Structure formats: C-alpha cells, structure tokens
Amino acid sequence: MTTNEGRVYFALDGEVFDPDELTEFLGIEPTSIQRKGAKVPGRVPKTNSWQFSTENVVNDYIDVFHLSSLVIEQLKPKKDLILKAKEKFSVLPRLEVVLSLSMNEQHSTPAIGFHVETMEFLGEIGAFVDIDTYKH
C-alpha cells in the first residue's frame, strides 16, 4: 500500500557560483548540491544549486508547516550571511516543498501552509516558495 511522501528544502540557485565556496561562506553543510550541466538521473540541471533539506518523510500525514519550520529554524542564525551571499554569489533563495501524494482515499492529504515566522524569514531574505506535487 503506497502512502504519502514529502520533504522541504531551502535552496540558493544561480548561474555561475561554486556551491563549495558558498558552503564555506555560510558555514552550513548542504544536504545536496547540483552543478549546472552535470548529469543527474533523469535530467541535466540548468543552474547551480545549494540545498539544505529535511529528511524525506514517508507517512499517511505530511505536515508542511512543521517541515518548513525545521529548515527555517536552522537558517535563521545565518540570515545576514544569506543576504550577503545573494549579492556575492548572485544567488536566488527558494523554499521548495516536494510532495508525492497517495491515491489511496484512506490516506490524509498533507497540511500545506507556513507559520508566520517562516513567512517573515522568507520575506526578509527575498525568497520565493515553490510547491511540487506528484501522484503515486
């Protein structure tokens, strides 16, 4: 029986920056990085990306409020560095929600939303939110 899956990650995306230099600048180890043009299973990234993610949650119920707060709480102390990184590395901040939804009607749908503190932080750093949903 298939259930819901989801994760939330924060990304800094850009054309020409080196993700390793950004890691050193921020002092946070990313969960993953992508390099423009590198072969990734199923696609080739069009930009460089530095990503900091929650674990992938597999459960009948996915709480985006909680997952996004986990990410933001760890990034808040780095707010000034993130703002400086935007200029220094020409990167764009993004909060990404990735959800794979069960087609089983007995499973709950995810709680999709953001706490005020999350929205305030994203506004202060000029980030946008992207939500990707998939059926499985």
pLDDT at 2: 79
Q: In percent, how much of the chain has pLDDT > 90?
A: 78
pLDDT at 35: 92
Mean pLDDT of 7-20: 96
Rounded Cα distance between 118 and 69, Å, is 6
Residues 6+ apart with CB under 8 A from 117: 69, 72
> Rounded to two decimals, what is the model's pTM?
0.92
Q: Which residue has the higher pLDDT, 119 or 60?
A: 119
Q: What is the pLDDT of residues 49-60, one digit of tens each?
A: 999 999 999 988
Q: In percent, how much of the chain has pLDDT > 70?
A: 99
pLDDT at 115: 97
For residue 92, pLDDT beyond 50? yes
Domain ranges of the chain: 4-135
Average pLDDT, the chain: 93
For residue 1, pLDDT beyond 60? no
pLDDT at 132: 95
pLDDT at 102: 85
Q: Which two tokens stand for residue 83?
A: 């703002």
Sign, CA dihedral 100-105-108-109, equals positive
